[in-house]
Structures are given as structure tokens and as C-alpha cells.
Structure 1
Amino acid sequence: MTAPLHAAAASTRLRPRTVKDRFLANGGVGSIAVFFAAVVILFSLTTDAFLTADNLLNILRQSAPLLVVATAMTLVITTGGIDLSVGSVLALTGALSAILIRAGVPWPASVALMLACGGLVGALQGFFIAYEGIPAFIVTLAGLSVIRGAALLVTGGYSIPISSSIGFVDIGRAWVFGLPLPALIAAAVLAVGFVAFNETPFGRYVTGIGANAEAVRRAGVDTRRITLLVYALSGGLSALAGVVLAARLGSGSSNAGQGFELDVIAAVVLGGTSLFGGRGTMVGTVLGALTVAVIGNGLILAHLSPFLTPIVTGSIILVAVWMNFRIFRGANRRR
């Protein structure tokens, strides 16, 4: 009798993982996938224009800056940090790119300078966080104010127009193989981010720092350098988003990106990345960012009052995060 019992127990332990098992093991991604599908179905049934090809392509084009910055924010939050300055960096680099182009600087050089500027700003913040031990929330909150102030200073509070005859605007308006170029840029950034996060030592170090930075440091990894690099990437990709947005709008404005950092953080957390660090997912981030974009687009198509839109959006995000943390992770613990 004993042998069959042991065989049965072993068989139970080694049984193939079912679809339900895999779904529960990836509760963060699973929950946002279900929620994303529900939101798409809701707006498809309540609005006539949502599922049109033009509107779906418009969502992809408009969500490109969000997807680009959310890629970097996934790394930042996985380390246990946060970057509240991304919206301000987006505004500053978009405004500076317009100013440089109007001053006669070739637009490719302007783009390169803005990417370097964003990376430098991010690295400076990363230095204070990694080497001086100042909490990321404090450093980037200060950065949010200082960088936005710098954008207001250089523009005088006005939008700087960019001529549509300059090739720069194609970054935000061109179409390639029937798809908007900003969406393809975002897809390329996400692909590189996915590989770096999941297939390289750098990605493992990022996750390790969020889970147990001291253990990673004792293993011989320069955790401070990795942390600084993560914030430099955040600044650089925020600058890229600023360039894409300025090119699409045909102007650089110090008021661009107001509240953008909250959308980015919401997208990343909705996707299943832990605010406490040590766990992140690029696939979840894509779904989270698209969910945020679809909610904003669908509410506009539903003709809601602009004053109700942030209330509805915030409530939906809160419910989705609650589903993520309580229902699916609770199911994982019961297993």
C-alpha cells in the first residue's frame, strides 16, 4: 500500500502545470490582461468609433511616449526606486529641441543633444540616489520642480513652434508600412528593454538590487553604478519621448507632460511590477501602458466631462491595482 501512495504523491507533485497554474503564477500579467480585455470590450460596445482602424492607430501613436518611458520606469521601480521627474525631462528636452532647431542647429544633432541631455540629468539624479544615499522620491521630486522650472525659464512659458517642412517632425508624424513611426520607435525600445531586463546580467542585477541590494553588493556587483545607470536610462528615454511628442505636435512646450509621471507609474504598477522592488515585467508594462491609453481615449469618445475623466481614470486604476495585489497574489499564496 505504501508504494502506490508514494507513487501517487510523486505523480501529484510532478503533474504538468495547467493553464490555470500558469495564469496564477503570473498573476500580475494575467490580471492586467483580463482588465485590458474588459476595458476594450466596454468601449467597443459603448462607442461607435473605438474599434475603427484610424482610432486604434491613433492610440498607438499617442501612447508611444508613455510606452518608451514606462520601459525605463520598469527598471527604476524594480530596483525599489521611483522617478517623478520624467514628465519634466520630457518637457525640457522637447522645448530645447525646438529652440535649437529654430537657432539653425541641424535636427539630427538636436535630437542627439537632447538624448545626451536627458541621460545627463538622469545620471545626476542617480548620483545623489546611489552615491549620496538620498531617497529617490526626494531627489526626483526636487528634479520635477527644478527641471520644469528650467523649461519655463528657457521658453518664457510659451510654446516654440517647429516648421512642418523640417524632417524633425517626421519622427512624430511619419508612417512606415502603414504604422505610425512613433509606435515603431516604442516597439524597438520595448524590445531592447525586454531583452536587457530578461536575458542579461544587467537585468538580473536590477531585480537583485530591488530584492536584496546588500546581497548583490556582497556578490561583487557595483550596485551604485547599476542604480546610476538605471536613472540615466530613465532620463535618456524621457528625452526620447520628449522629442517624439514635440515632433508630433510641431512645437516644444514647457507645459508638456503635466502629470505624465503619474501615468507612467500607473502603467508600470498596473502591469504587475512591485512598488517595493525585486519584481518587474516588461510584458505587463506594455499591457499597463496600453490600458492607461485606452482608458483615456475611450472616455473621450464616450463624451464624458473633462472634469470627470481623471476621477473615472483614477478609480479604474485603483480597482485594477487592487485586483492585482489582492486577488491574484492571494491565489498564489494559497497555492
Structure 2
Amino acid sequence: MSTTYTERVAGSALRDFVTDFAQVLSIATFFIICLVFFGTMSDVFLTPANLLNIVRQAAPILVVAVAMTMVITTAGIDLSVGSQVAFINALAAITISAGVPWPVAIVLMLAAGAMIGGVQGWFVSYQGIPAFIVTLAGLSIYRGAALLLTEGYSIPIRDADGFLWLGRGTLLGIPVPALIAVLVVIAGFVVMWRTPYGRQIIACGSNLEAARRVGMPARRVVNSVYVLTGVASALAALLLAARLGSGSSNAAQGFELQVIAGVVLGGTSLMGGKTSMIGTVLGTLTIAVIGNGLILMHVSPFFTQIVTGVIILLAIWMNTRLFTGTWKIGKGASNG
């Protein structure tokens, strides 16, 4: 019996490329549309000063989004990152106000973040409690702890110019928080795509039991990604405290939703095993652009959250339906 070989259909290489990178291409397209739209609606939006302001404000979210990408890749989630940011933010202000040198305070806060993440990761990975439940409890615990520490008041940070520079300063004209976020993103890329640890994260998200059976330290890997979100949340808290010059229990309200939205918008699957750091960067910047653009359009702040939520929902729908082959355009198109 002979086998008949046919030539590769013309254009299929491009089609394969679009299919492989559909999520990134779709969020990149949506990001550009947002830039053009808000640039048209406001003369201020595309000015260098405003764009630098966007990246400065987006930096803490992006820092945590990189770590959250790893958590979601393992099919987990961390709902407590906003409360962790508030707690470390308040703790950092109190520590520095007590006279502790700010470099020492930074190290202590990062260690505290790692400990918080490690405890949550232990419950998830070694005790088998769903991440949603563990981190939902953490969301309440750490926000409550921040309120207890501050009694609801803002704690000013004084006589720490070096620390404040981390949130307000610039280097070569670029905000320092943005440069720190870029370094974190680069580290995230390297970890996920150039190290065995990154491949282990993806493997655990694809099939945790299979990863464990082939000798992979699956539980330790899952535990470690929560440690990373704890450290990232602490770093974000420090950047916020340095930018605002104070610590407050009200900091980072809704922070976790922005982080998770940025990661999912970028194409990382909530089911685990599929990740995109480029998508996370674009998704996070898209969220920041939408928020900033709506403010410049003088949209009511009470309406802004509604508009942002609708846009995010439509963008994710576009990712999962139009760009992943659920709907196909052309011959043999499906209506489902």
C-alpha cells in the first residue's frame, strides 16, 4: 500500500504561528487599540509625562503579576496579595519610623513576605487545602493585621530619603519603580523559560500527580511559588510606601483583582500548565492604560470599575473564542 504525500498548504506556517501565539497577539492588539483610543480621546494621554506616570503606577502590580503567573501556572491562585501588600506596607512604615535603617527594613520586609507566602504555600501543597480557601483566609487575616497595626491611621515615613527615592526617583529619566519591575520581569522570563525550575512549574500545573510520580519535588515546587508571591507582594508594598511616603492599612484595595486580571488577560490559563510572561506584561499594562485613560476622560470613578470590568471580560472572551479557534473564519467555520 502506497502513501501519498501532499505539499504543505500555502500560508499554513503563518496560520500555525497565529495559532501558537494567539493569546499574545490578541492582547497586543487590544493593548494597541487602547493606546490609540485613549490617545485620540485625550491630548494628555500619549505625552511622555503621562506614559511615565502609567508605568510608575503599574510597577507594583507588574511585580506581583510576574509571581502570580507562576502560581496560576500551577493551577493555583493567591487572593491575598492585596492584603499582604497592605500589611507589609504598614509594617515597613512602622519599622522605619521606629528608627530601623531603611536598607535593614527592606530586608526584613522581604523576609516577612517570604514567610507569609511559605505558610500559605504549606497549607496548599502539604495539607491539600484548596488555594482559593487558604488565600481567601489570608486576604482577611493580613488586611485585619494591617488595620490592627495602624488602627486605621496612615503612618508617615520621614528621614528616609534613600527609601523614598525607590518610589519617587528616576534613573536616566525612567522611574525607579519601573526599572525594578523590568528587572523582575526579566528574572521571570529567565526562570520560566531557561531553568529546570520553570519547567517544573509548568509540569506541576499540567498534571501534579504525574509530576510527583516521575520523581519531581512537586509539593516543594508548589510551595515555592507562594513564597515568590509573598516576596513580590513585599516588594510591591515597599514601592508603594516609598512612592506615597507612608504606610496605610487601606493600601492596595482591589490590588489582587488587578493582578489576576492582568495575568489571565495575558493568556495564562486558570486551569494551569499554560503560561505567558509576555502576555502578563501586556495584560498588566492594558489594565493600567484603561484606568489612566478613563480618568483622563473624566469618567466618574464610580463608573470606572464597571467599564474596566466589562472591557476585561470582553478581552478575555475575545482571547478564548475568536483567537483560539473556537470560532473559525472561512471555509468550514463553526457557529458554536
TM-score interval, normalised by the smaller of the two chains? over 0.9
Q: Distance in 1 between matches of 2:226 and 2:172?
A: 34
The aligned length equals: 329
**CA-to-aligned-CA distance 1:116-152 (integer Å, 9 cap, x gap):** 0001000000000000000000000000000110000
Letter in 2 for 1:103: A
Report 1:258-297 matches (<5 A): 258-297=253-292
Query: Contact 1:93 / 1:242 at 8 angstroms: preserved in 2?
Result: yes
Offset, 1:284: 0.2
Instruction: Tell me whether 1:233 sits opposite 2:228 in the alignment.
Output: yes
- Residue 245 of structure 1: aligned partner: 240
Offset, 1:329: 1.2
Q: Distance in 2 between matches of 1:214 and 1:271?
A: 27
Query: Contact 1:193 / 1:282 at 8 angstroms: preserved in 2?
Result: yes
Q: Distance in 1 between matches of 2:325 and 2:128?
A: 34
181, 184, 187: which one aligns with 2:179: 184
Query: Contact 1:208 / 1:278 at 8 angstroms: preserved in 2?
Result: yes
- Residue 218 of structure 2: aligned partner: 223
**CA-to-aligned-CA distance 1:233-290 (integer Å, 9 cap, x gap):** 0001000000001000100111101110000000000000001111011000000000
Query: Contact 2:320 / 2:326 at 8 angstroms: preserved in 1?
Result: no
Report 1:108-127 matches (<5 A): 108-127=103-122
Q: Distance in 2 between matches of 1:332 and 1:89?
A: 40
Q: Percent identity between the aligned chains?
A: 58
Q: Distance in 2 between matches of 1:17 and 1:218?
A: 38
Q: Distance in 2 between matches of 1:243 and 1:16?
A: 50
8, 11, 34: which one aligns with 1:12: 8
- Residue 194 of structure 1: aligned partner: 189
Letter in 1 for 2:256: E
Contiguous gaps of at least 5 residues in structure 1: none
Larger helix proportion of the pair? 1
Offset, 1:21: 2.9
- Residue 49 of structure 1: aligned partner: 44
Aligned with 1:308: secondary structure? Answer: helix
Q: Distance in 2 between matches of 1:330 and 1:152?
A: 48
Query: Contact 1:72 / 1:234 at 8 angstroms: preserved in 2?
Result: yes
Offset, 1:66: 0.6
Q: Distance in 1 between matches of 2:254 and 2:22?
A: 28
88, 91, 95: which one aligns with 1:96: 91
Residues 299 and 133 of structure 1: is their aligned pair in 2 closer, same or farther, counting only changes over 3 Å? Answer: same
Aligned with 1:279: secondary structure? Answer: coil
134, 137, 150: which one aligns with 2:132: 137
TM-score by length of 1: 0.95
Letter in 2 for 1:21: D
Letter in 2 for 1:51: L
- Residue 200 of structure 2: aligned partner: 205
Offset, 1:199: 1.1
TM-score by length of 2: 0.95
Offset, 1:163: 1.8
Aligned with 1:330: secondary structure? Answer: coil
Aligned-residue CA RMSD in angstroms? Answer: 1.7
Q: Distance in 1 between matches of 2:269 and 2:218?
A: 19
Query: Contact 1:25 / 1:332 at 8 angstroms: preserved in 2?
Result: no
**CA-to-aligned-CA distance 1:39-83 (integer Å, 9 cap, x gap):** 111001111100000000000100000100000000000000000
Letter in 2 for 1:279: K
Letter in 2 for 1:191: I
Offset, 1:223: 0.5
Q: Distance in 2 between matches of 1:125 and 1:240?
A: 18
Q: Distance in 1 between matches of 2:305 and 2:159?
A: 32
Q: Distance in 1 between matches of 2:318 and 2:290?
A: 17
Aligned with 2:76: secondary structure? Answer: coil
Aligned with 2:79: secondary structure? Answer: coil
Query: Contact 1:269 / 1:275 at 8 angstroms: preserved in 2?
Result: yes
Offset, 1:331: 5.5
Q: Distance in 1 between matches of 2:139 and 2:160?
A: 33
- Residue 60 of structure 1: aligned partner: 55
